[in-house]
């Protein structure tokens, strides 16, 4: 299994551009943090919904990578987001991505995005397809 450092190194350019920092990784759960920078915000200066969705999508993909057989890849098949509260610019948010289903062809993940105080900001459920040669 990949370590947190190895998984962080394998992040795609877009995840790196968002500033996602993986803090823990296991086959059934990945956690990460992201600072809500002003360039990720809408007006007023709160996190753009797309930035939150991309944060969760990146965590679901990372979690899937931890469960892939050798030589396989992954892509997002479906994603649904519910927004509950704003994340202001300058704040650090946490994503907790947990497995709902880890199958051979698909994996389903639920990511809770939380404020530093533990308030639920958004919840994302996504399906990742396992791509084999």
State pLDDT tens for residues 17-62: 999 999 999 999 999 999 999 999 998 999 999 999 999 999 999 9
Q: Which residues lie below 8 Å from residue 53, measured CB to CB, with a gap of 6+?
A: 79, 81, 122, 124
Q: Quick one: tokens of 35?
A: 């600072």
Domain definitions of the chain by residue range: 4-131
pLDDT tens digits for range 1-22: 899 999 999 999 999 999 999 9
Residues 84 and 67: their CA atoms lie apart, in Å, by 30
pTM of the model: 0.97
The CATH H-level (homologous superfamily) assignment of domain 4-131 is Hotdog Thioesterase (3.10.129.10)
């Amino acid at each position: 299994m990949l370590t947190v450092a190895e998984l962080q190194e394998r992040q795609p350019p877009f995840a790196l551009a968002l500033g996602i920092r993986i803090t823990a990784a296991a086959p059934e759960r990945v956690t990460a943090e992201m600072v809500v920078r002003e360039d990720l915000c809408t007006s007023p200066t709160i996190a753009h919904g797309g930035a939150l969705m991309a944060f969760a999508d990146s965590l679901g993909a990372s979690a899937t990578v931890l469960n892939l057989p050798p030589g396989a890849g992954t892509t997002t098949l479906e994603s649904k987001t519910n927004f509950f509260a704003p994340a202001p610019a300058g704040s650090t948010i946490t994503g907790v991505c947990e497995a709902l289903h880890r199958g051979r062809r698909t994996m389903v993940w639920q990511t809770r995005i939380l404020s530093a105080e533990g308030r639920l900001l958004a919840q994302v459920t996504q399906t990742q397809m396992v791509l084999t040669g």
